[in-house]
Homo-oligomer: A and B are copies of this chain.
């Protein structure tokens, strides 16, 4: 039976690179993949872009009201790949779970685990509840440890309040991927129990 995968990781950990590599691996064998992205992620428009410089047009640009079953033809499909999966709706995640389990097509979702406040995104929670495999992709904190969280900066200063979604590079917002300890000390300003 096919699996629903959630490959999660902090910003800049290589999620899109990994997605593009998987697509390449399938296609090299003559197998067909479908790449989807929620439309909430406006960065890059209808393309997905890896920071290593690779780029590719998505096959399906999912709006929040779209249901998966209306947007895809499973016939001949070997794998479904979803970028920025933290922006899927719970219904869309549930649909993808049904696709994997009832149609035997693997679904690999790449996305952030948590917001800049270490809380789930709307799509991350159901992915964490339902996915067969939870696989972490890691990047590096400034201290050299594994970065697992993204902290938001406004004008270069860490903030703990603000809207859930704010795009990197717009309105003076930037992000930094941090390990748990650096997040606790530098963002939450907690230094002892």
Q: What residues of chain A have their CB less than 8 Å away from a CB belonging to chain B?
A: 1, 4, 12-14, 17-18, 20-22, 24-26, 28-31, 51-54, 69, 74, 78, 95, 97-103, 113-114, 118-120, 125, 128-130, 132, 134, 136, 139-142, 144-146, 148, 179-181, 184, 190-193
Contacts and interface: CB of A to CB of B under 8 A. Distances in A.
Interface of A (DSSP majority class): mixed
Among A28, A101, A102, A140, residue most surrounded by chain B Cβ atoms (within 10 Å)? A140
Contacts of A130: 118, 180
Given A74-B193, A113-B129, A134-B134, 5 more contacts: A18-B21, A29-B140, A118-B129, A128-B128, A134-B136
Contacts of A140: 25-26, 29, 31, 78
B193 A99 contact: yes
B25 A132 contact: no
A140 to B, nearest CB: 5
A179 B132 CA distance: 9
A190 B98 contact: yes
Q: How many copies of this chain does the complex contain?
A: 4
Nearest to A129: B114
9 contacts: A1-B181, A14-B24, A17-B52, A18-B18, A53-B54, A97-B184, A98-B190, A102-B191, A113-B129
A103 B193 contact: yes
Contacts of A102: 181, 184, 190-193
A12 B24 CA distance: 10
A15 B13 CA distance: 15
